[in-house]
Amino acid sequence: MQLVISTVCLALTSAVIGNAYLQKQQFYPAVVYITKSNASMAVIYIQFFVIVFMFGKLLRKIFLGTLRAAEFEHLLERFWYALTETCLAFTVFRDDFNPRFVALFTVLLFLKSFHWLAEERVDFMERSPVLGWLFHIRVGSLLTMLGILDYVLLMHAYNSTLVRGPTVQLVFGFEYAILLTVIASTTIKYVLHAAEMRTDTPWENKAVFLLYTELVIGLIKVVLYLLFVVIMAKIYALPMFVFRPMFFTIRNFRKALNDVIMSRRAIRNMNTLYPDATPEELRQSDNICIICREDMVNHSKKLPCGHIFHTTCLRSWFQRQQTCPTCRLNILRTPAINSMAMPRADDAANPAAAGGAGAVPAGAAVPGAAGVAPGAAAPGAAAGEAVATAAGAAGAAAAPGLDAHTNGAVARNAGAPNFADIFGDASGLSNLAGLPPPPPLLSPFMMQSPFGYFTPPVVPPPPMPLDLTRFNEEELLAMEGNLRQHIEERLKMLRNISLMVDSANLLMQQYQLLVARLPPPATTTATTTTLPAAVAAAAVPVNSSPNPVYDEPSTSRAAAAKVEQTTHHQLSAAAVAAAPSSVVSDQVTIEDLGAEDDDDVDVDVDVMPSTADNCVNVDNEESTELSELRKRRLKFLEERNNSPTTTTTTTTITTTTSSDKTD
Amino acid sequence: MAGSALRRLMAEYKQLTMDPPEGIAAGPISEDNFFEWEALIAGPEGTCFEGGVFPARLVFPPDYPLSPPKMKFICDMFHPNIFADGRVCISILHAPGDDPMGYELSAERWSPVQSVEKILLSVVSMLAEPNDESGANVDAAIMWRERREEFNRIAQKLVRKTLGLPT
């Protein structure tokens, strides 16, 4: 087809020229003859376009090789749009309409097509499995050539506008300026892609660079278009022919801006809200990022729901959607405090409730226990008052069925203190206090507790469970429920925690008031009859997800040591946080907290009441720990005194006086 | 190192080749372009499409897997959830946010966790159990609901056609 057209055209041209030459016999008259005849000129013009077209093909062969089908399609589509716009531009400049003008527009369209093709090629780089050196040479030379041409033509247009005032060169100058920005962005993209190809590892920040390139180039383009429209509207008429590209440019710019904002938000979220996945967690999961299907060696993040992904994969996904790719948990609406996603409460509830009397694993370090503990805790907290009475019974019982960690467990007879009273106290206090709920914890694992009243535990948290192989599939699955009931349970749990924290806060305030009023030489009493404190602030985050994370014990231990020195022989009080009763936590972190003797004040296990500067790492499993500790404390007191009245005393405030009383 | 979309597609291709699910074959049309795949789907047994082998084309966006691919049968199809031009209309192929039919839960939509294999398996189950709530092809949906025998007859005809048998 093309060949036929070219041949016909060539034949026509030769006929026209031959005819002219035959008639005039000399060069100059022949030229005059042709230019005078409209038909001849039409043929010459057509020949000119054919030559341009063929030249374009030649250049394409040199610089681009064969076009892919998609490239050709896009080229054609854009070409027709550009052609229409050129025709529109002709209407504005109909006074200067002459062959030179048409030629200039032809050159512009010609160059534009190559810009589009270069853009497509560079975009294709990312999708192409193999690229030879030929590709790089071609793209490199094409970009250089186009850049130089754009610059030269821009300068020409600029100079001619300066010399001759605003003419049609204004349009060309503007068009070449736009093309220069296109070349700039294409070159930057090319450099970025090429740089990534040279390395064997994925270049994580490339997406960010690309995004910002897009933004800056988009901004320049928008400014250029606006300037052009204003200038054109002042000198000529409203330039209709740039409205379509301007619209698309503005839309792209808006999108880029939006992307940048979303990306920044995603990055910020990721840096602040979600912890890096630890090597242990990576080992325990299958270690494949489900987004890119590649190994996660480093730079991976763990979402509140426990799913782990590459940081970069997650970032690009969060630019579009703020949900977990796996479970679609909306991560923006989920405060990070939920990050300890509760397991299926009902699963663990049965064994916990069933255990009327059983074994409390006394060892703080019970590997494997951690993953299950919240399971046992959840129903207790969730059920709230309803469980309160049962809590005592169940409280001392380790959940049977979690036999994996009953080794080292000490069987105890469970006394059943009346937890309902305690709970009532607590809620009353919290109502009185009306304290605002604590702010949501930002980082679930690393953040210091916002309520620094609790002394840190001295016993380091239990080590990581080394493997989760003892759980079967269902148990593991059960730990991450996201059905309605689970979410409801979690919400209830959170409410209870907030209640508990409020009451604990109040208690500590009262305690501090009392301490302030007390005479300084408390040591005298302390040396003799100080009751060991049973302050409960366990810093053992228990994670329901298969990969529990633990706090760094070092800081809390150091803090505790300091406290121990200073308040060594001073009065110690048991400020037991009155908490909503939780059922059993089969995992005890502070060993023998309640069971120590009066003489054992120096033992490193004792926990001193602290002032506000002692920070404790508390997370939302605190209730489990607190109730556990309190329960043990109560039990201890009971065993010692066999007087149930002390329990209530302890729960409110235990100062030196009250501890004396208990003795 | 190539782009992440390409690497992921290569990984999926590899996985599909090494461990192909039953009744499904898929791969790039040419190894030069991993963004266009062809898939062959066997009609699920015990349904009116049993025995048929249906070719389809998958076109992946440059930002795969963040955006879903497009799927289109390149043979004649008559099915409530397949447009007359062969485009497949299932929720897993729709990005969250756009909802052409206005009934899909976002939980059923595309997410990077999905894969070619899952898409094709969903299509197989869609063949087996059309969702006549979403009318990509309203005629087919109505026929499926009201004149099942006729629907089955047309399906059998299509099956024979895909196998190159005289109908």
Domains of chain B in start order, with CATH, are 4-162 (3.10.110.10)
The CA distance from A513 to A607, in Å, is 20
The CA distance from A304 to A482, in Å, is 12
**Residues paired with residue B71 on neighbouring β-strands, in sequence order:** B58
Which of A484, A543, A541 has the alpha carbon at shortest distance from A342?
Answer: A543
Query: How confident is the model at residue A79, as a pLDDT?
Result: 92
- How many degrees, rounded to 5, is the angle at CA B143 between CA B141 and CA B147? 145
Distance from CA of A156 to the nearest CA of B (A): 38
The distance in angstroms from the start CA to the end CA of chain B is 50
- Looking at A22-31, A247-256, A343-352, which range is the least confident one? A343-352
Asked whether the ipTM of the predicted complex exceeds the cut of 0.85, the reply is no
Best interface-test mutation with B: which of A125, A200, A321, A330 has the largest number of B CBs within 10 A?
A321
Minimum-distance CB partner of B11 among A200, A293, A317? A293
Choose the most confident range, by mean pLDDT, from A361-365, A508-512, A597-601. Answer: A508-512
Rg, Å, chain B Cα set: 16
Q: Which residues of B are catalytic?
A: 89
The domain A273-334 is placed in CATH, from the list 3.30.40.10, 3.40.50.11720, 3.30.1330.10, 3.40.50.720, at 3.30.40.10
> What band does A177 get if pLDDT is binned at 50, 70 and 90?
very high
Count of positions (residues) in chain A: 663
Neighbours of A455 (CB within 10 A): 27
A150's CB contacts (< 8 A; 6+ apart) are A111, A176, A179, A180, A183
Alpha carbon distances (Å) from A331 to A174, A318, A507, A546? 46, 9, 34, 19
Hey, what are A233's tokens?
Answer: 């509207």
Residue A181 pLDDT greater than 50, yes or no: yes
Spans of all domains in chain A: 1-63, 67-265, 273-334, 345-395+410-662
Residues B110/B94, Cβ–Cβ less than 8 Å: yes
The CA distance from A184 to A178, in Å, is 10
How many CB pairs (< 8 A) connect A and B? 76
The CA distance from A58 to A200, in Å, is 36
Minimum-distance CB partner of B8 among A123, A293, A321? A293
A167 Cα distance to chain centroid: 52
B99 backbone dihedrals φ, ψ, rounded to 5°? -135, 85
Of all residues in chain A, the percent with pLDDT exceeding 90 is: 12
If you average pLDDT over residues A152-177, what whole number do you get? 88
Q: For residue B65, is the peptide bond before it cis, meaning its omega torsion is within 30 degrees of 0?
A: yes
Query: How confident is the model at residue A642, as a pLDDT?
Result: 61
Distance from CA of A191 to the nearest CA of B (A): 14
* Tens-binned pLDDT, residue by residue, of chain B (167 aa): 467 888 888 888 988 888 888 888 888 988 878 888 999 998 888 888 888 889 999 999 888 888 889 999 998 888 888 998 989 888 888 876 655 555 556 667 888 888 899 899 989 988 888 887 777 888 888 888 888 889 888 888 888 888 887 76
- Could you please report the per-residue DSSP string of A33-63? HHHH-HHHHHHHHHHHHHHHHHHHHHHHHHH
Query: How confident is the model at residue A560, as a pLDDT?
Result: 44
pTM confidence score: 0.57
If you average pLDDT over residues A537-560, what whole number do you get? 41
The CA distance from A543 to A532, in Å, is 29
| Helix locations, A273-368, DSSP H | 279-284, 311-320, 345-354
Minimum-distance CB partner of A294 among B7, B15, B106? B7
B32 in contact with chain A, both atoms CB, cutoff 8 A: yes
Query: How confident is the model at residue A226, as a pLDDT?
Result: 92
**A108-128 burial, b for 16+ CB within 10 Å, e for fewer?**
bbebbbbbbbbbbbbbbbbbb
Task: Give A486's Cβ-side CA count (13 Å radius).
Answer: 20
Cβ separation A313–B3 shorter than 8 A: no
A55 Cα distance to chain centroid: 51
Cβ separation B7–A292 shorter than 8 A: yes
Cβ separation A129–B35 shorter than 8 A: no
Distance from CA of A338 to the nearest CA of B (A): 20
User: Tokens 């898929």 correspond to what residue?
Assistant: B26
Query: For residue range A460-515, what is the model confidence (pLDDT) as tens digits?
Result: 444 445 555 666 666 666 666 667 888 888 889 899 999 999 999 888 888 888 88
- Maximum pairwise Cα distance, chain B: 55
Is the model more confident about A303 or about A410?
A: A303
Which chain A positions have a beta carbon within 8 Å of B7's beta carbon? 202, 292-294
If you average pLDDT over residues A451-464, what whole number do you get? 45
Residue A618 pLDDT greater than 70, yes or no: no
